[in-house]
Amino acid sequence: MAFHVIFVASGLSEEDAARADAAGPPYVSAAGSYTELLASAGFGEIDELDLTDQYRLTAAAWFRESARAARQLEEIFGVEEFRQRQQEREETLAAIEGGLLRRWLFAAQAT
């Protein structure tokens, strides 16, 4: 098994955790670490790779390239939805740069 996951950084203040939740993907957060979850599900040889810096670069690219294609994307999504999406992308990028959101690759073998 190998997968990418975005998660809220640990040890945040209540305010920063709320900001991370708001800026991250619209999914529920897992309770506990993924390493522990994988181990408890019977997986071994667990390997982790921190991809947060690449996550930052990709988030920045989504914002930058979307801005570059703004007129065409406004025709597809509508002006209001496009602007809202760009605002969300900016907030996500700020949260990554602020150390609030992380993205890792996990790989593990069934045991």
Partner 1 sequence: MDDAERASVEERNRLHRLREAPARRRLEQAVLGSDYGASSYTTLSQAAELATRMQLGPGVSLLDLGAGSGWPGLHLAKVTGCRVVLADQPAEGLRIAQQRALEDGIADRCGIVQSSGDPLPFRSEVFDAVTHTDVLC
Binding site for partner 1 (CB under 8 A): 1-7, 24-25, 27-30, 34, 47, 49, 51, 54-55, 58-59, 61-62, 65-66, 69, 72-73, 75-77, 103, 105, 107
**Alpha helical stretches, state H, the chain:** 14-23, 34-40, 52-68, 70-77, 79-97
Q: What is the closest distance, in whole angstroms, from the C-beta atom of residue 30 to partner 1 in the complex?
A: 6
Determine the Cα–Cα distance for residues 36 and 24; give it in Å rounded to an integer: 22
DSSP 8-class letter at 28: P
Residue 62 or 91 with smaller CB distance to partner 1: 62
